[in-house]
């Protein structure tokens, strides 16, 4: 027969755990709200930039009229010999399958590209730890993003590879507060390497976040740019219905809106698209060249911001189900305890009754 005291102790411990998971859920919900706001705040800029680029494509001669080849190196398609993959995970765990899903998707992507050289830039501690166990570090490391933004030295050139798949950079601890300067620094580094033809394509694997119920895990092609303003998604994984339902429940109980953060001001969408003849202070082609790297930066920035939001959402969901699991556990333990107590009382009564009968 289970010991009543033990069960009672067990219940108390589960109650404590539930308190912690509940607190973590609320904290994640608050952080999620902030992350969502930041992701939203980045949108007008991205919209406007895209619009201007689009209108410039029409005006500047981006493509060679004879061969149809793009003039800008970032638009040029090359045979993929070396690929760069940016893996965006979280710095912290306890977020359900969030980090595992991303690393899994990254592994799948690597498999699909097997035989080619792959450089990996790991953003987030969890992904870095995972990848580090499997792949060697490159001899020359990209500086971490925190330093990159400040650094003004030339980037080191890549030397011999230490494996077909190698880790060229680790960026840990930047996700707490993602700054545009950091995304921009990473983008600049990638562009430099791309232009030196060290790498032939850049992909980012991250968890896209539109709202709590509209998320997907995607591998997005960043370079070369195929179509401005269009996402080039190579691999996507939507949430399952069950996951969606869970996320929704968690969001509702934590008071986070589940509406999509899409939309934004209409005015942003009109920027640079007015049907007027602009005076261009600089030749359109020059403007285009100056803007394209920013486009890459903003895409990376967006990936980081959405990943952060998704991480908090995942943690919130995980903690919500942990809390409800704890509640279930307390209920069943209480039931067992009551049964045990009753059994004990019954036994005592029987003992007294049979004792009295014997006299």
Partner 1 sequence: MAEVFQLEIVTPEKKVVETRAAEEVQIPGKNGYLGVMPGHAPLITELAVGEITYRENATEQRLAVAWGFAEVLPDKVTILAETAERPSEIDVERARKAKERAEQRLTSGDPTVNVERALDALHRAEARLDVASRTR
Contacting positions for partner 1 (CB under 8 A):
38, 41-42, 44-46, 48-49, 52, 150, 152-154, 179-181, 183-184, 267-268, 271-272, 274, 276-282, 286-287, 290-291, 294, 297-298, 301
- As measured in angstroms, the least distance from the Cβ of 278 to partner 1 is 5
Is residue 250 within 8 A of residue 320, CB to CB? The reply is yes
- As measured in angstroms, the least distance from the Cβ of 230 to partner 1 is 20
As given in the structure block, the two tokens for residue 165 are 């798949």
- As measured in angstroms, the least distance from the Cβ of 106 to partner 1 is 26
Is residue 26 within 8 A of residue 265, CB to CB? The reply is no
Nearer to partner 1, 183 or 201 (CB): 183
Give the side-chain half-sphere CA count within 13 A for 15: 9
As given in the structure block, the two tokens for residue 62 are 């981006």
Rounded CA-CA distance 306/208 in Å is 6
Nearer to partner 1, 115 or 176 (CB): 176
Nearer to partner 1, 67 or 275 (CB): 275
Nearer to partner 1, 11 or 287 (CB): 287
Which 3 state secondary structure label does DSSP give 318? helix
As given in the structure block, the two tokens for residue 26 are 């609320």
CA dihedral for 241, 247, 250, 255, sign (positive or negative): negative
Nearer to partner 1, 16 or 270 (CB): 270
Q: Is 183 exposed, middle or buried (0-12, 13-18, 19+ CB in 10 A)?
A: buried
Nearer to partner 1, 19 or 273 (CB): 273
From the list 311, 304, 305, 299, the residue with the least C-alpha distance to 231 is: 299
Which 3 state secondary structure label does DSSP give 195? helix
- As measured in angstroms, the least distance from the Cβ of 182 to partner 1 is 11
10 Å Cβ neighbour count for 348?
A: 10
Rounded CA-CA distance 100/113 in Å is 20
- As measured in angstroms, the least distance from the Cβ of 185 to partner 1 is 11
- As measured in angstroms, the least distance from the Cβ of 341 to partner 1 is 59
Nearer to partner 1, 70 or 264 (CB): 264
- As measured in angstroms, the least distance from the Cβ of 145 to partner 1 is 15
- As measured in angstroms, the least distance from the Cβ of 62 to partner 1 is 16
Q: What is the DSSP letter of 95?
A: B
Is residue 305 within 8 A of residue 297, CB to CB? The reply is no
Q: Is 80 exposed, middle or buried (0-12, 13-18, 19+ CB in 10 A)?
A: middle
Nearer to partner 1, 56 or 83 (CB): 56
């Amino acid at each position: 027969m289970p010991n009543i005291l033990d069960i009672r102790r067990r219940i108390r411990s589960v109650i404590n755990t539930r308190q912690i998971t509940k607190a973590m859920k609320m904290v994640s919900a608050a952080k999620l709200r902030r992350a969502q706001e930041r992701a939203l705040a980045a949108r007008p800029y991205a919209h406007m930039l895209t619009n201007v680029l689009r209108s410039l494509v029409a005006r500047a001669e981006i493509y060679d009229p004879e061969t149809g080849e793009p003039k800008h190196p970032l638009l040029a398609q090359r045979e993929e010999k070396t690929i760069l993959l940016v893996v965006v995970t979280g710095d912290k765990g306890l977020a359900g399958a969030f980090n595992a899903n991303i690393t899994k998707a990254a592994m799948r992507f690597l498999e699909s590209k097997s035989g080619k050289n792959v450089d990996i830039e790991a953003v987030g501690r969890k992904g870095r730890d995972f990848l580090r166990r499997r792949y060697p570090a490159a001899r020359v490391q990209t500086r971490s993003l925190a330093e990159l933004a400040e650094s003004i030295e030339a980037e080191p050139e890549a030397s011999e590879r230490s494996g077909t798949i190698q880790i060229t950079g680790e960026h840990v601890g930047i996700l707490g507060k993602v700054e545009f300067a950091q995304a921009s620094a990473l983008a600049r580094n990638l562009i430099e390497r791309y232009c030196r033809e060290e790498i032939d394509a850049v992909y980012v694997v991250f968890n896209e976040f539109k709202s709590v119920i509209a998320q997907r895990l995607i591998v997005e092609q960043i370079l070369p740019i195929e179509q401005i303003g269009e996402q080039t998604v190579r691999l996507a994984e939507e949430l399952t219905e069950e996951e969606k339902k869970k996320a929704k429940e968690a969001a509702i109980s934590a008071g986070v809106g589940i509406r999509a953060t899409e939309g934004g001001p209409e005015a942003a969408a009109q920027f640079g698209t007015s049907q007027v003849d602009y005076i261009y202070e600089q030749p359109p082609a020059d403007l285009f060249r100056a803007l394209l790297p920013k486009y890459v930066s903003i895409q990376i920035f967006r990936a980081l911001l959405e990943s952060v939001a998704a991480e908090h959402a995942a943690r919130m969901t995980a903690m919500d189900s942990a809390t409800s699991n704890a509640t279930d556990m307390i209920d069943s333990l209480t039931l067992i305890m009551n049964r045990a107590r009753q059994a004990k009382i019954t036994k005592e009564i029987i003992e007294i009754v049979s004792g009295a009968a014997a006299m």
